[in-house]
Amino acid sequence: MSKNITPYKDSTLSKKDQVTQMFDTISGSYDELNRVISLGIDVKWRKKVVDLVAKKNPENILDIATGTGDLAILMTQTSAKKIVGLDLSLGMLDVGKQKIIDKNLTERIEMVVGDSENIPYPDNYFDAITVSFGIRNFETLEKGLAEIYRVLKPNGIFVILETSVPTKFPFKQGYAFYTKLILPLIGKIFSKDNNAYGYLSESAANFPYGEALNNILQKISFIECKAMPQTFGVATIYTATKI
């Protein structure tokens, strides 16, 4: 299991509350800053997630930790009639709601304030569930995954897109330099919150990835768990389902 990394070291708030506070603070600059940090490659990764989901012809999709709704919006390229974006941060959701209005997608996408560890939907409800760069922010990883398992339909698809750590030279060394020094510096320059991008890089470095995360998914009872490294291993797409 990963270390309990939190955004604000001296805060007495729970990780969940700290993460909510952090994303509320950086919501206005989050999209633009992410494009800079990832050099736009994250868009390509999200499109791969959409392709995986689209093959299942889902009628309804839940995007957890949806943030400003980038992935939820891309999911309109699937057959889904209803897409729900769930997030704790009102600030991020407000940005996402405006994007959805601007794209005239309000009939297909609903943005909901909610907690991954207490998803406000019944058992076996969604055909597909996605989490993009948000699973490492769960306060209790296994509890959040168990909730996802509960609301996913049998034979439904669960797809995670998350950062991971390259293992081969020179990508491992380059990634370490970038995440420990460059990423927090960019965050401090462009963000209102000096802690935010330090937390995001530290949490990424300490989060289980590859087979370690697959083992946790299997422990929850997910089956057909696969890990697909992207771009030299700086991110990984995971797929799983349930009986």
The reply to whether 154 falls in a domain is yes
The reply to whether 218 falls in a domain is yes
Residue 1 has pLDDT above 50, yes or no: no
> How many domains are contained in the chain?
1
The reply to whether 8 falls in a domain is no
Closest CA to 115 of 80, 151, 83: 151
Q: How far apart are CA 114 and CA 129, in angstroms?
A: 14
Residue-wise pLDDT for 73-83, tens only, equals 999 999 999 99
The reply to whether 1 falls in a domain is no
User: Whole-structure pTM over 0.85, yes or no?
Assistant: yes
pLDDT of residue 226: 98
Domain encompassing residue 229: 15-241
Question: Which of 200 and 105 is assigned the larger pLDDT?
Answer: 105
Residue 40 has pLDDT above 90, yes or no: no
The CATH number assigned to the domain holding 139 equals 3.40.50.150
pLDDT of residue 201: 75
Segment 102-125 shows an average pLDDT of 97
The reply to whether 7 falls in a domain is no
The reply to whether 163 falls in a domain is yes
pLDDT of residue 221: 98
Q: How far apart are CA 223 and CA 220, in angstroms?
A: 9
The reply to whether 2 falls in a domain is no
The reply to whether 40 falls in a domain is yes
